[in-house]
Structure 1
Amino acid sequence: MSTTELLNSGDLELYVFGILNESETNQIAELSIKDKDIKKEIISIEHSVLALSSSFSPIISSDVYEKIKYNLGLKKRKVIKMKPKNNKSQYIGWAASVALLVGIGFQYSKLNVTKNQIKTIEVQKSKLEESVVDLELKNKETQTILGVVRDETNTVVSLGGQAAAPTAKAKIYWNKQTQVVYVDASGLPKPPEGKVYQIWSLKLQPQLTPTSIGLLSNFQANESKIFAVDKTSGAEAFGITLEPAGGSKSPTMEQLYTLGKV
């Protein structure tokens, strides 16, 4: 058998594991002294076996383990040479151990993939639930707006632009029976930072008496620009002024944006 054939035969692995017969063992031992390539391959196999033996147990017998360490110079005490065994069960056990490790690793990898898939599904489910809630809220808001606009018992008051904002406009939906008031502010410009629109219920007789019925807070966030404000009774007119954030006790007439009589 040539050096190349011996290197590829698998006999060197069996030699290291000590499971060749005595004749084969002696033959390879003699060749390893003469052939540097064979000796180098045996040393490489012995290093690999030691590395595997530190991770798995049992793979080789303690006698073989000690012999390999001695051959590699990792143990100085004399090792008693044991008669090689013909039983190949240890080699098969080593192969089974490696196969078991590969199987465990594969299953662990599949488990991690499954966990990541579950986590992704849960995130998607959470986002879908949030979208459904948003749609439900928007649908409810739309139904409320339609109800206000279509309610024939409401008195609709158109508010025209004033000197502070000639192009501004708004509408008041006022139910005189329930006193509920809604404001359509879609015709108002975006308020400057630090300012807020304030709605006033006005009595004109015997003198002008304004009563604040609410602020149009979160103006930008309200896409429909339909706002529910406080109830009122006996109103003869409605006005909207631009006030500092938090509102004012009385309307700033220089910032009167819209006004309309009932």
Structure 2
Amino acid sequence: MEDIKAYIESGILELYVLGDVSPEEKLQVETMASKHPSIKAELDEIELSMEMYAEHNAVEPAENLKSRVLNSILTNFSDDYNFDTKAAPAIDNVVAFTAPKTNNFYKYAFAACLALLIASGIALMNLYNKLQESTTQLAALQVDKQHFANRVNLVEGELSVLRDPSFKFLKLNPTVHAPATAAVTIAWSPVKKKVMIDMANVKMPANDKDHQYQLWAIVAGKPVDLGVFDANPDSTDMKEMKTIAAVKTDAFAVTLEPRGGSVNPTMDQMMVLGKF
């Protein structure tokens, strides 16, 4: 296993992909790849990485390069055509030199540098992905923080209502048109002209998408619209309704109306009613 790891880290696989190996080395790499799946997988990964690197660093040739190459070919062809084919053969005065011994140090050093470059690129990509993940988590934490701050503000607002002596609390009880368990609790401050519904204690049948509950104040025998609301079992806040200018009311009532509310209450759909 250590021999296979050392073979992979030797740089021979990168040289094989670059085509810079001898026939014997080429045969050796192909033999090792056929015997060891880990070497074959590493070879495929190197080929894919080099292909991606080549595509990323590809350089488009200049537009006039094609015409320059063609003109050069035509010029050389014309010069060859004018050569004197009957000229005396040239004297062979070329001295053959002994080919220097191949030095594989630079070849393997280049392969090692290329492998290091690819590994660095992969590490940078992983670091970028982790940075993106951290940014996403930070944004989620900021949203949670804002949600918590809003919730704290809401609770503080509810506490201020409970501690405010100007608010009066009234429980609206069911009529014959509602279940016996129906109930709505409101808080009314004649001084601040505010009316609020305790949504956590709304015990009303769920309204459909075409209807809403509408709160009314009965002032001097006339109904005054205070706004609409939905019977949402998940709601736990205090819902502020429309302001009311009257210092004294006869009663408060809730009717079931078409979505958006009605100008006048539907009397046969009055669900709950309460008097001070």
TM-score range (shorter-chain normalised) is: 0.5 to 0.7
Aligned to 1:196: 212
Aligned to 1:85: 100
User: Sequence identity of aligned pairs in percent?
Assistant: 22
The number of residue pairs the alignment matches comes to 191
Q: 2:154·2:237 contact (CA, 8 Å) conserved in 1?
A: no
Aligned to 1:249: 263
Whole-Å separation in 1 of the counterparts to 2:211 and 2:205: 12
- Give unpaired runs (5+ residues) of structure 1: 1-15, 19-39, 56-79
Taking structure 1 as the reference length, the TM-score comes to 0.65
| Cα deviation code 1:144-165 (max 9, x no counterpart) | 1222223222122221111111
**Quick one: structure 1 residues 43 and 167, their matched pair in 2 at CA, closer, same or farther if it must change by over 3 Å?**
closer
Aligned to 2:236: 224
How does 1:71-220 map onto structure 2 within 5 Å?
Answer: 83-86=98-101, 88=103, 91-165=104-178, 166-185=180-199, 186-203=202-219, 205=220, 208-217=221-230, 219-220=231-232
Whole-Å separation in 2 of the counterparts to 1:46 and 1:85: 25
Query: Is the aligned partner of 1:41 residue 2:24?
Result: yes
Whole-Å separation in 1 of the counterparts to 2:97 and 2:264: 108
| Cα deviation code 1:10-30 (max 9, x no counterpart) | xxxxxx989xxxxxxxxxxxx
Give the drift of 1:222: 5.9
Whole-Å separation in 2 of the counterparts to 1:174 and 1:104: 73
Whole-Å separation in 1 of the counterparts to 2:162 and 2:123: 58
**Quick one: structure 1 residues 43 and 179, their matched pair in 2 at CA, closer, same or farther if it must change by over 3 Å?**
closer
The alignment partner of 2:105 has SS state of helix
The alignment partner of 1:190 has SS state of coil
Correspondent of 2:253 among 239, 244, 256: 239
Q: Which amino acid in 2 is paired with 1:174?
A: W
The alignment partner of 2:260 has SS state of coil
The alignment partner of 1:98 has SS state of helix
- Give unpaired runs (5+ residues) of structure 2: 1-19, 31-46, 52-94
Q: 2:183·2:272 contact (CA, 8 Å) conserved in 1?
A: yes
Aligned to 1:28: none
Whole-Å separation in 1 of the counterparts to 2:233 and 2:129: 36
The alignment partner of 1:156 has SS state of strand
Give the drift of 1:240: 0.5
**Quick one: structure 1 residues 93 and 175, their matched pair in 2 at CA, closer, same or farther if it must change by over 3 Å?**
same
Aligned to 1:76: none
Q: Which amino acid in 2 is paired with 1:240?
A: V
| Cα deviation code 1:169-197 (max 9, x no counterpart) | 11221111111111124222322331101
Aligned to 2:41: none
The alignment partner of 2:121 has SS state of helix
